[in-house]
């Protein structure tokens, strides 16, 4: 039975079957960030503020550099559905090339991190510590971006369970290393931020090794690593053409959140620490939507490869409905127990704990406002990427997140004096605008995607 013969409820079951391991792997990956945040929060508020700033910079380069990895997903899904196995190998290998180049650019930029943070108005101590963290953790970009490529490759082939297993093991490894190296347990030296950075690099390298071995032995028909050094100009150009708009789209969104972190640093260290905790909680629910978005990309890419108009339409409706249910559950969670959630990240004996909890609870109330908007925009992005439409979404993101979202954050937070709450309300403006425009983009051109895809992928 082809996808177009399935009902919307059958599509929903297929989305969950493919999506739950992906969501689980994203949540396990997020556990790595949570572990860093919680352990460094126990270590001290200053360390928490530094890792919030440094982690935001690392995440910015990781997510932007992942544009080439995410370009793999729709192309591999479509090629596999159409039986073009050689194309699968070609595009995946060139994505690994492009990701390595992106990692090199990121590491070079981190060498100037302290100067950049100071230029952005951060406190000298926080800027120094964040730069020291990045001086070590930044090298993890090389394996981390390769992990993203292999995750996209395996996801497009619907081999998602291994991603869940590897990511859970990586989270456990990171937690053990953090426990030893941050606090000096098990005979290890007490290294604080440096220990968290070293643990992160080891974890990324181990994840890449595990996924590379799995890919090499589980999909021998693709011979993924055979002649990896050999250039493929056509595949390189195709992944570059699809990937750079994805990267810039991510830059627009991630850059908005990074800019908001900078603004919170202008307000104060307590506000920056509270922002870091509240953002981790908002990101936790967002990662469910990211997993669903990747399912949307895979299934839209498969429909494109088969020329399946009904499957594209029904699959899109199914994934949007599931995303809305998850978003409403997150709203209920953030509005019901915000103080308890924030308190999980903080040392009970820290003198500034009550202040951070108060500010963080206010931010979670705003986060509840943008759950539907944030989920809507990332699901629309997933659908558009599945039909290999990446440039117009890039322009929409640039408009929604910067002139509108960031402008609203500054206006509400500083010009109108609403402080940290106003800054976060700017996020609502940007995410809501992006969600509406991208959904309209997908549904207004729904009938034309298959014809365009036939011209691109044929």
Segments in 44-84 forming alpha helices (H) = 45-65, 67-81
**Most confident residue range from 138-147, 159-168, 304-313:** 138-147
Q: What is the pTM of this model?
A: 0.80
Q: Check residue 108 and give its pLDDT.
A: 94
Residue 39 reports pLDDT greater than 90: no
Give the three-state DSSP class for 351.
coil
Q: How many residues does the chain have?
A: 458
Looking at the structure of the chain, the number of domains it has is: 1
Q: Which structural domain, as residue segments, surrounds residue 157?
A: 3-457
Lowest mean pLDDT across 44-48, 135-139, 151-155, 278-282:
44-48
Predicted confidence band at 99 (pLDDT cuts at 50, 70, 90)?
very high
Lowest mean pLDDT across 51-55, 98-102, 179-183, 408-412:
51-55
Token pair recorded at residue 350: 């820290």
**pLDDT tens-digit series, residues 354-401:** 888 888 889 998 888 888 889 999 999 999 998 889 999 999 999 999
d(CA 294, CA 313): 16
**pLDDT tens-digit series, residues 112-123:** 988 988 887 878
Q: Check residue 211 and give its pLDDT.
A: 94
**pLDDT tens-digit series, residues 76-89:** 888 877 777 788 88
φ/ψ (deg, to 5) at 224: -60, -35
Residue 297 reports pLDDT greater than 50: yes
φ/ψ (deg, to 5) at 349: -90, 0
Predicted confidence band at 451 (pLDDT cuts at 50, 70, 90)?
low
Residue 98 reports pLDDT greater than 90: yes
Conformational region of residue 121, where left means phi above 0, alpha means psi within -120 to 50, and beta covers everything else: left
Residue 302 reports pLDDT greater than 90: no
Are the C-beta atoms of residues 358 and 270 closer than 8 Å to each other?
no
> At how many degrees (to 10) do helices 161-183 and 141-156 cross?
160
Q: Check residue 207 and give its pLDDT.
A: 93
Predicted confidence band at 284 (pLDDT cuts at 50, 70, 90)?
confident
Q: Hunting for tokens 């177009």 — which residue is that?
A: 4
The whole-chain average pLDDT of the chain stands at 86
φ/ψ (deg, to 5) at 14: -65, -35
Residue 454 reports pLDDT greater than 60: no
**pLDDT tens-digit series, residues 220-277:** 878 788 777 888 889 899 999 999 999 899 888 877 887 888 888 888 888 888 888 8
Lowest mean pLDDT across 28-37, 89-98, 137-146:
28-37
Q: Check residue 450 and give its pLDDT.
A: 60
Mean pLDDT value of segment 280-292:
86
Conformational region of residue 188, where left means phi above 0, alpha means psi within -120 to 50, and beta covers everything else: beta
More confident residue, 46 or 421: 421
More confident residue, 13 or 6: 13
């Amino acid at each position: 039975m082809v996808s177009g013969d399935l009902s919307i409820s059958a599509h929903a079951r297929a989305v969950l079957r493919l999506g739950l391991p992906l969501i689980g792997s994203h949540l396990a990956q997020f556990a790595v960030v949570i572990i860093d945040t919680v352990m460094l929060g126990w270590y001290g508020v200053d360390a928490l503020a530094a890792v919030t700033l440094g982690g935001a910079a690392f995440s910015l380069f990781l997510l932007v550099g992942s544009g080439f990895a995410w370009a793999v997903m729709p192309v591999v899904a479509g090629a596999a559905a159409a039986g073009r196995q050689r194309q699968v190998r070609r595009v995946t290998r060139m994505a690994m090339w492009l990701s390595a180049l992106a990692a090199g650019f990121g590491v070079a930029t981190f060498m100037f991190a302290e100067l950049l943070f100071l230029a952005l108005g951060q406190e000298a101590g926080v800027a120094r510590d964040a730069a020291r963290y990045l001086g070590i953790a930044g090298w993890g970009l090389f394996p981390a971006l390769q992990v993203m490529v292999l995750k996209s490759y395996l996801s497009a082939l619907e081999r998602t369970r291994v991603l869940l297993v590897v990511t859970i093991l990586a989270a456990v490894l990171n937690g053990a290393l953090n426990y030893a190296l941050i606090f000096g347990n098990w005979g290890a030296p007490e290294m604080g931020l440096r220990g968290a950075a070293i643990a992160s690099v080891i974890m990324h390298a181990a994840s890449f090794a595990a996924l590379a071995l799995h890919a090499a032995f589980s999909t021998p028909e693709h011979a993924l690593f055979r002649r990896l050094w050999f250039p493929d100009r056509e595949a390189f150009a195709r992944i570059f053409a699809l990937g750079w708009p994805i990267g810039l789209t991510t830059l627009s969104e991630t850059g908005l959140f990074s800019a908001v972190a900078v603004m919170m640093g202008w307000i104060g260290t307590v506000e920056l620490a509270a922002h870091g905790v509240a953002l981790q909680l908002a990101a936790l629910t967002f990662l469910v939507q990211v997993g669903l978005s990747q399912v949307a990309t895979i299934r839209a890419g498969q429909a494109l490869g088969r020329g399946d108009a009904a499957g594209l339409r029904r699959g899109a409706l199914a994934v949007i409905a599931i995303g809305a249910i998850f978003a409403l559950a997150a709203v209920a969670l953030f509005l019901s127990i915000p103080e308890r959630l924030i308190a999980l990240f903080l040392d009970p004996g820290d003198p500034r704990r009550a202040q951070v909890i108060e500010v963080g609870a206010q931010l979670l109330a705003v986060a509840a406002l943008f759950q539907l908007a944030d989920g809507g925009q990332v699901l629309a992005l997933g659908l558009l990427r599945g039909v290999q439409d990446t440039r117009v979404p890039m322009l929409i993101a640039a408009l929604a997140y910067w002139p509108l979202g960031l402008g609203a954050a500054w206006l509400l937070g500083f010009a109108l004096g609403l402080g940290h709450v106003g800054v976060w309300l700017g996020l609502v403006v940007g995410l809501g605008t992006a969600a509406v425009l991208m959904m309209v983009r997908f549904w207004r051109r729904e009938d034309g995607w298959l014809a365009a895809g036939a011209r691109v992928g044929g």
